[in-house]
Chains A and B, each alone.
Chain A
Amino acid sequence: MSTRFDEIEHRICQLLASYLESSNHPELEAHGEITGETNLVSDFTLDSFQVMEFMMELEEAFDIMIDVNSLSNSHTVRDLARIVGNELDEASK
């Protein structure tokens, strides 16, 4: 993985921790460290609304737009990092 990708992934981990903390998510402490393998749905039981809300946080943090359709097969932080990376590439063209 490139350094840039690692940075994006790291930033998403931070944003997810912050999102879970702000929403008083009960499983935040139990889960421990958030990594690229962290699965938003199975590790934190985020419902569809929360996943969409978190996407909006990502959009604002990275100043990008994420197509809702791209989320259907994206479950982990690493999946999201790929989407964000692609969108950043598109935006810089």
Chain B
Amino acid sequence: MALLDKFAAAGAIRDQLSSGGHDPTRVVIDEIISPTEGMVEGRHTILAGTNNYLGLTFDPACIAAGIKALETQGTGTTGSRMANGSFASHAALEQELAGFYNVPYGMVFSTGYAANLGTLVALLKPGDAVLLDADAHASLYDGCQMSGADIFRFRHNDVDSLEKRLQRLGERARDCLVVTEGLYSVLGDCAPLNEIVELKKRYGALLLVDEAHSLGVYGDRGCGVAEAQGVMHDVDFFVGTFSKSLGAMGGFCVSSHAELALIRYVSRPFIFTASPSPSIIASTHEALRQLQARPELRDSLWRNARRLHQGLETMGFDIGPEVSPVVAVRLGRKEVALPFWNRLLENGVYTNLMAPPASPDQNSYIRCSVSAAHTEQQVEKILEMFGRTRETA
């Protein structure tokens, strides 16, 4: 087989995805009007699948902070922090994030993906054991695989499955790492972190929680699911991203373990990546302030989440029982979900198509993510278009 022959399979996937008219992986938003609205092929389109949970991408204070950083610090860092040095703003944001989570150590990465990769390859080595939730994000899988550690999956959110594996590990359980997310991004369900913490304490394991989709969404202060479930102090490593609630790009890890400060010496995804641009750091820093100063953003987010969930449920759509800002409508086969997604887009609602193998089971889903910035009218419009699309499907 020639080197490039393997792309035939990717071409087949592209052709299948494009068969409904639009390729769900290649939608172009010609103009961004607001955090919740854009122009797609000349149509006003409600953005209901961009994970802009707090709607801060157009926040005036965040934009002003970004502009000021551009003007005073330039457009980029032109390299890695190890080679080029850190800007003071990188270090300040690390301190701010650590303080937000009430831990002493923090580290900023260039993307959320790099945060997971960079943290896991530093924490794990060949011969170590990691217990990974079966529905964990690809970046968590990739980080574990890149580390060379022994990877054992447990059934999604199933504490019995996790405990069985901890038991099988025997003595190794005391040195293993358990990896979960806070809010799972496809189906919008939360990890039972309080129960997972009980297990990790009983067996002496360490726990890493990815709060990428739950930062700014859960907890009185917006720290995430661990805060909401009262177990923040028992999580060893929090990872997260700037590209959702914080409206920018980048990632972080914070911890009470002093070893986090040493990760920067051994983590190749950190060492060999250009550091985030100062404007990104500045807008992220401001978004973190906004997140803390304006709890009403979370109130709006949850009001919209409840309305969308309740509306779709009333209309008879198959959705999960857990209300969250991620609402996944189960449509079964891809042959049903793909045209449905296309018609929704043509009706002016942008959502996400989740189909096997990217979905966590053999079903296909239309996934919506709600924003604090969605107006009541926009949420009603999303519901109306779901109904209209079903009628014409």
Contacts and interface: CB of A to CB of B under 8 A. Distances in A.
Nearest to B130: A68
A66 B134 CA distance: 13
B150 interface: yes
Interface stretch (A30-38, A47-55, A74-82): A47-55
Main secondary structure of the interface of B (DSSP, over half): mixed
Given A49-B356, A65-B165, A68-B145, A56 B362 contact: no
Contacts of A55: 153
Contacts of B356: 47, 49-50
Given A47-B357, A65-B165, A69-B145, A52 B153 contact: yes
Given A49-B356, A49-B357, A50-B357, A68 B152 contact: yes
A69 B153 contact: no
A89 to B, nearest CB: 14
B151 interface: yes
A67 interface: yes
A18 to B, nearest CB: 16
Main secondary structure of the interface of A (DSSP, over half): helix
B155 interface: yes
A23 interface: yes
A65 B152 CA distance: 7
B6 interface: no
A86 to B, nearest CB: 13
Contacts of B144: 68
A23 B356 CA distance: 13
B151 A67 contact: yes
A23 B332 CA distance: 13
A56 B357 contact: no
Interface string A21-65: 001000000000000000000000001111010011000000011
A48 B145 CA distance: 15
Given A65-B165, A65-B168, A68-B145, A50 B362 contact: yes
14 contacts: A49-B356, A49-B360, A50-B362, A52-B134, A52-B153, A65-B152, A66-B152, A67-B150, A68-B132, A68-B145, A68-B151, A69-B145, A69-B151, A91-B168
Interface of A: 23, 47-50, 52, 55-56, 64-69, 91
